[in-house]
A and B are shown apart, each in its own frame.
Chain A
Amino acid sequence: MATLACVTSALETIRARNGSINAFTAVLEQRALRKAGTAAGPLAGVPFAVKNLFDVEGLPTLAGSKINRDLPPASRDATLVERLEAAGAVLVGTLNMDEYAYGFTTENTHYGPTRNPHDPERVAGGSSGGSAAAVAAGMVPLTLASDTNGSIRVPASLCGVWGLKPTFGRLSRAGSFPFVASLDHLGPIAANVDLLAAAYDAMQGSDPQDPVCRAGPVEPVSALRGIGGLRIARAVGYFEENAEASVAQAVHRAAERLGAMRTVEIPEAAHGRAAAFVITASESGQLHLQNLRKQPQNFEPLIVDRLRAGALIPAAWYLQAQRLRRWYYRKVMQLFETVDVILAPATPRPAHKIGQETISLRGRELPARPSLGLLTQPISCIGLPVICAPVGKVDGLPVGMQVIAAPWREDLCFRVARELENQPA
Chain B
Amino acid sequence: MRKTIDGDYVLAAARIAQLPLSAGDAASVTAQLQRVEEIAQPMLEVALEPNHETGLVWRP
Interface of A toward B, CB cutoff 8 Å: 169, 182, 211-212, 270-271, 273-275, 277-278, 281, 289, 292-293, 296, 305-306, 308-313, 316-317, 319-327, 367
Contact = CB atoms under 8 A, between A and B. Distances in A.
Contact of A308 (B19, B52, B56): B19
Q: Which 4 A/B pairs are nearest by Cβ-Cβ distance? A: A309-B32, A274-B43, A322-B54, A312-B13
B23 interface: no
B55 to A, nearest CB: 4
Nearest to A313: B36
Contacts of B18: 293
Contacts of B30: 309
A212 B18 CA distance: 31
A140 to B, nearest CB: 32
A166 B9 CA distance: 39
A313 B33 CA distance: 8
B43 A320 contact: yes
B4 to A, nearest CB: 9
Contact of A271 (B9, B43, B49): B43
A305 B43 contact: no
B33 A312 contact: yes
Nearest to B30: A309
A384 B32 CA distance: 29
Given A212-B57, A308-B25, A308-B32, A327 B46 contact: yes
Q: Most A CB atoms within 10 A — which of B36, B39, B44, B54?
A: B36
A256 to B, nearest CB: 33
Contacts of B56: 182, 322
B46 A271 contact: yes
B14 to A, nearest CB: 6
A309 B26 CA distance: 9
10 contacts: A270-B43, A274-B42, A277-B39, A281-B36, A293-B19, A305-B29, A311-B19, A326-B53, A326-B54, A326-B55
A323 B44 contact: no
Contacts of A281: 36
Contacts of A320: 43-44, 46, 48
A278 B36 contact: yes
A309 B29 contact: yes
